[in-house]
Amino acid sequence: MSSRNPILLDAHLSAALEIAQTVGEEVLKFQKEGFFVKEKGHLDLVTEADEAAERLIRTALLEKFPEDGFLGEEGSDIPGTSGLVWVVDPIDGTINFSRGHSEYGISIGLRGLDGHPELGVIRFPALGKTYWATRGGGAFCDGRQLQVSSTDRLDRFLVHETDTCRTDAPATFQRKILKAHLPLLEKVMRWRISGAAVHDLCLLAEGKIDVYLIDQFHEWDVLAGWAIVREAGGELMSQVGEEATCQSPSLVFHNGKCGDQIVKALRPTRR
């Protein structure tokens, strides 16, 4: 991993924080005043707020950093020339957003030259909270520094799980994932699904849960959140215990205390 560049990160972080705040106000206005919804895929929705938010974020970031690339969930894919790429989910947790829930967020991550996140900013408009982190600079929520939990017993772990319905065959996929995760879920204290990766990753970073499992995802779902979890002391691995990145197929984000036990519990169904 590359060393931290404070000047680069400070400028990029300042811009991302400002943009996330501004776009968050627009998104919250959509949620209060109404919006159009259309189907993007099987059991997957997109709203006009998602599309408007991505346009606003893309325009603002590339105006400030025209050499950077941009990858967004709603179709933006601009390579850039700097080697840095903004990876953005304009509204992670669109279903939550569309039904009036508060657990959704604007996710802005910056992928570095080595493929790892340089920074992550996540704004929760309905909750009035902003989380952020820079490589080597710590993780924060509204100025409060974050630290993952110290829970070191698997039977005391709180585990959150990916939403299992974003495929063309949701029932088949859900059975597959539950079969794979059940040996672990039988050993932990509680297991929940919130429907928004950014929400779960921020809970992990501030020590409110201990593990987050995710399958069938995209880089924009997790890059910013991983920056925040990493800088709060968390760890990332594949579900077979191997080194992983935000491009790996199945991930475990955890507090670093029981990684070997997590893998041991998951392994029986993955042999």
Average pLDDT score over residue span 220-237: 97
The whole-angstrom separation of Cα 163 and Cα 251 is 13
The whole-angstrom separation of Cα 21 and Cα 44 is 26
DSSP string over 203-257: HHHTTS-SEEEEES--HHHHHHHHHHHHHTT-EEEETTS----TTSSEEEEE-SS
Instruction: Tell me which residue has tokens 């346009």.
Output: 55
* Domain 6-142 classification at class level: alpha beta
Average pLDDT score over residue span 163-170: 61
Poorest-confidence range of 2-16, 143-157, 209-223? 2-16
Let me know: does 46 contact 162? Beta carbons within 8 Å: no
Structure tokens at 34: 């109404």
Question: Which of 2.40.40.20, 3.40.50.720, 3.40.50.2300, 3.40.190.80 would CATH assign to domain 154-270?
Answer: 3.40.190.80
Q: Is the per-residue pLDDT at 257 higher than 70?
A: yes
The whole-angstrom separation of Cα 253 and Cα 197 is 11
Residue 165: pLDDT band with limits 50, 70, 90:
low
Between the CA of residue 48 and those of 21, 73, 80, 145, 155, what are the distances in Å? 18, 13, 26, 34, 43
Residue 75: pLDDT band with limits 50, 70, 90:
confident
Amino acid of residue 211: V
Predicted TM-score (pTM) of the model is 0.91
Average pLDDT score over residue span 12-23: 97
Higher-confidence residue of 58 and 250: namely 58
Q: Give the residue extent of every domain in the chain.
A: 6-142, 154-270
Q: Which of 60, 56, 109 is nearest to 85 (CA)?
A: 109
Poorest-confidence range of 80-84, 137-141, 237-241? 237-241
Q: Which of 117, 122, 111, 110 is nearest to 27 (CA)?
A: 122
Query: Would you tell me how many other CB atoms lie within 10 Å of the CB of residue 75?
Result: 10
Q: Is the per-residue pLDDT at 42 higher than 60?
A: no
Q: Compute the half-sphere exposure of residue 215: CA atoms within 13 Å on the CB side of its CA.
A: 16
Average pLDDT score over residue span 4-25: 87
How much is the pLDDT for 217?
85
Poorest-confidence range of 72-81, 128-137, 148-157? 72-81
Average pLDDT score over residue span 207-218: 91
Higher-confidence residue of 2 and 229: namely 229
Q: What percent of the chain has pLDDT over 70?
A: 89
Q: Which of 92, 101, 93, 89 is nearest to 31 (CA)?
A: 101
Let me know: does 84 contact 118? Beta carbons within 8 Å: yes
Q: Is the per-residue pLDDT at 73 higher than 90?
A: no
Higher-confidence residue of 92 and 247: namely 92
- Residues contacting residue 11 through CB under 8 Å, at least 6 positions apart: none
How much is the pLDDT for 46?
76
Structure tokens at 240: 């077979």
3-class DSSP state of 163: coil
Mean pLDDT score of the chain = 88
The whole-angstrom separation of Cα 134 and Cα 7 is 11
Higher-confidence residue of 28 and 4: namely 28
How much is the pLDDT for 7?
60
Q: Is the per-residue pLDDT at 1 higher than 50?
A: no
Residue 215: pLDDT band with limits 50, 70, 90:
confident
Query: Would you tell me how many other CB atoms lie within 10 Å of the CB of residue 240?
Result: 14
Average pLDDT score over residue span 117-132: 97
Structure tokens at 28: 């919250």
How much is the pLDDT for 271?
40
Tens-digit pLDDT profile for residues 43-59: 567 788 889 999 999 99
The whole-angstrom separation of Cα 16 and Cα 134 is 11
How much is the pLDDT for 167?
55
